[in-house]
């Protein structure tokens, strides 16, 4: 069996970031306003290196091109997924992402951005923004241009363990006091609709009103992602989502759990606890890739992992 690919994370500072990436996961973050850990990424704006093993120090994008067999010869010229941990000490902007067709034309051939959120933790009474209340596209544009944010923005309460699928065209925002694991297409295209008139270095952050109006879908239709849970030998498995771009699963492991993995590769993030895989120690905050067609991967310990693989 090919080696597991452990990855060196990349960190992004943000005006809304905090220090939980250090206090919860022990990461060596650059500051107390660190918003994102790009945990598994081959994107040019924050690319991970392999940490240890025969490919130590290699960029993930280079390995994608040079060793396609590791990834099951998955089609495409770029690693398709990006896994982040997001620490929102304060509110993120109200935003929207384009789909593949819009991004290809307007963003130099970029992938669009379909994403999903697993709520790792949140403060009591925390909400997130999902969707809007405009009844059609004309009303959506009118509300945005006239800054009718209270009437426009839809919020929902959240709790630890909640899961949300965010499709392109869905207005959304993570609110302060939230820690999230995000699985997404490998894209860094975000259109800010509204940013609370905040200043960064004394200036308002750039908004993308025209792109937002062009890409927001109206009326809003809620995505009904229904998790399915089953008890397995050594683990409780929760299937969170399967969409066009990825499939995401959670495993609450207690004892010994063995699994064969998919024909392509699988991303793994240890979100709590500790243990091992095939004798290799694991702890919360580690992220790695299981190569394609890996048989009899043996997890031991008491930990929770979230796995994602491309569809």
If one counts every other C-beta atom within 10 angstroms of the C-beta of residue 227, the result is 14
- Beta carbons within 8 Å of 232's beta carbon, 6+ residues apart: 257
Catalytic (active site) residue 298: no
Number of H helices, E strands in the chain: 6, 22
Closest CA to 74 of 239, 241, 262: 262
Among candidate residues 192, 205, 217, 298, the one labeled active-site is: 192
Is the sign of the CA dihedral 198, 113, 187, 264 positive or negative? positive
Q: Which two tokens mark 18?
A: 């905090």
Distance between CA atoms of residues 96 and 89, nearest Å: 20
Among 265, 200, 230, smallest CA distance to 42 is for 265
CA-CA-CA-CA torsion for 31, 33, 36, 42, nearest 10 degrees? -50
- Where in the sequence numbering do the catalytic residues fall? 192
């Amino acid at each position: 069996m090919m080696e597991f690919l452990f990855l060196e994370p990349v960190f992004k500072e943000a005006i809304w970031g905090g220090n939980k990436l250090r206090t919860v996961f022990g990461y060596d973050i650059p500051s107390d306003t660190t918003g994102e850990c790009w945990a598994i990424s081959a994107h040019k704006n924050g690319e991970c290196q392999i940490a240890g093993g025969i490919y130590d120090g290699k960029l993930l994008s280079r390995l994608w091109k040079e060793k396609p067999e590791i990834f099951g010869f998955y089609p495409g010229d770029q690693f398709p997924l990006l896994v982040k941990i997001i620490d929102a000490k304060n509110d993120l902007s109200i935003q929207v992402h384009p789909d593949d067709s819009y991004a290809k034309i307007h963003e130099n051939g970029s992938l669009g951005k379909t994403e999903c959120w697993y709520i790792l933790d949140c403060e009591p009474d925390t909400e997130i923004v999902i969707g809007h209340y405009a009844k059609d596209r004309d009303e959506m544009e009118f509300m945005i241009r006239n800054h009718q944010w209270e009437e426009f923005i839809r919020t929902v309460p959240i709790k630890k363990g909640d899961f949300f699928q965010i499709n392109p065209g869905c207005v959304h925002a993570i609110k302060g006091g939230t820690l999230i694991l995000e699985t997404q297409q490998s894209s860094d295209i975000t259109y800010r609709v509204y940013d609370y008139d905040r200043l960064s270095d004394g200036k308002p952050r750039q908004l993308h009103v025209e792109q937002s109006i062009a890409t927001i879908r109206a009326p809003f239709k809620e995505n009904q992602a229904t998790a399915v849970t089953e008890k397995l030998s050594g683990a409780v498995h929760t299937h969170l989502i399967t969409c066009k771009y990825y499939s995401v699963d959670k495993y609450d492991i207690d004892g010994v759990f063995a699994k064969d993995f998919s024909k392509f590769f699988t991303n793994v993030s240890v979100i709590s606890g500790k243990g091992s895989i095939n004798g290799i120690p694991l702890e919360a905050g580690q992220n790695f890739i299981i190569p394609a067609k890996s048989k009899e991967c043996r997890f031991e310990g008491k930990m929770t992992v979230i796995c994602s693989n491309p569809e």
